[in-house]
Amino acid sequence: MSEPHSATISVLVRNAPGVLVRVAGLIRRRGVNIHSLSVGPTEDPSVSRMTIVVDTAPERTELFAKQLRKLVEVLRATAIDGTPSVDRELALIKVNVTPGTRMEIMEIASVFRANVVDLTDRTMTIEVTGRTEKVDAILTLLTRHGIREMARTGQVTLVRGPQNT
């Protein structure tokens, strides 16, 4: 088996009690770490989309999708591996500021097209959106100023072009 890597699986589910637990449980049972899992409504109010990023060997991703399709509430499960796709994630990062560092941090934010969404004399909260690597990159730069807390949504993904995810 090849090295584990991050694989994305997009799952459309019926909005029913317990669906999230069923999906998460199915993955957990196979001993795989869930890197991120995001859930939200879709264009159809009775359907939600989950985007799951797991650490797994590439050849196992489709097997996961197959197992997920067996769940009665799962309408569709797609292993995104390899397909051109748009991946985004949003992070809120609350970082320490002093009068001396404020400008530098704002510069970092602007390079990453991040927004400053809250400011006090000691903290600044930055909202950044992008691929996971971009979020990781801004985090690296901000770390030395002291990150007080952070919240990330986890990745959401759609396949590019007219094809459905």
Partner 1 sequence: MARQATVPSKQRPAPRAGTINGAQALVEALRREGVEIIFGVPGGASLPIYDALYDAASLRHVLVRHEQVAVHAAVGYARASGRVGVCTATSGPGATNLVTGIADAIMDSVPIVVVTAQVPRAVIGNDAFQEADVTGITMPITKFNSLVMSAAEIPHAVHQAFYLARTGRPGPVLVDIPRDVLQEACVPEFTDEVSIPGYRPVLDGAPNQIAAAVKALAEAERPVICAGGGVIGSNASPELTALVEATGIPVVLTLMGKGALDELHPRCLGMLGMHGSAYANWAVNDADVLLVVGARLDDRVTGRLKDFAPRARIIHVDVDPAEIGKNKSAHIPIVGDAKRVLAVMVAQARVPQIESWWRQITEWRERYPFRYHQNSNRISAQYACDLLNKVTGGRAVATTDVGQHQMWMAQWYRPREPRHFITSGGLGVMGFGFPAAMGAKFACPDKTVVAVVGDGGFQMTVQDLATAVEHGQSLPIIVLNNGALGMVKQWQSMFYGGRFSSSLLRNPDFARVAEAFGARGIRVERPEQVEGALRAALETEGVPCVVDVICDPDENVLPMIPSGQSVAEMILDE
Footprint on this chain of partner 1 (rule: CB under 8 A): 13-14, 17-18, 21-22, 25-26, 29, 63, 66-67, 69-75
- Taking the complex as a whole, the smallest distance from the CB of residue 88 to partner 1 amounts, in Å, to 26
**CB closer to partner 1, 72 vs 133:** 72
Question: Do the beta carbons of residue 69 and residue 77 sit within 8 Å?
Answer: yes
Interatomic CA distance for residues 109 and 10, integer angstroms? 30
Write down the least CB distance from residue 34 to partner 1, Å.
Answer: 16
Decide whether 70 or 144 has the Cβ nearer to partner 1: 70
Q: Judged by CB, which is closer to partner 1: 7, or 124? A: 7
Shortest Cβ 70–partner 1 spacing (Å): 6
Contact between residue 38 and residue 50 where contact means Cβ atoms under 8 Å apart: yes
Comparison of 19 and 108: residue with beta carbon closer to partner 1: 19
Tokens 């990159």 correspond to: 137
Burial class (CB in 10 A: 0-12, 13-18, 19+), 158: middle
**Smallest distance from the beta carbon of 150 to partner 1, in angstroms?**
31
For residue 24, the minimal CB distance to partner 1 (Å) is 10
Three-class SS string for 61-102? HHHHHHHHHHCCCEEEEEECCCCCEEEEEEEEEEEECCCCCH
Give the separation between CA 98 and CA 82, rounded to whole angstroms.
44
**Which residue's CB is nearer to partner 1, number 11 or number 114?**
11
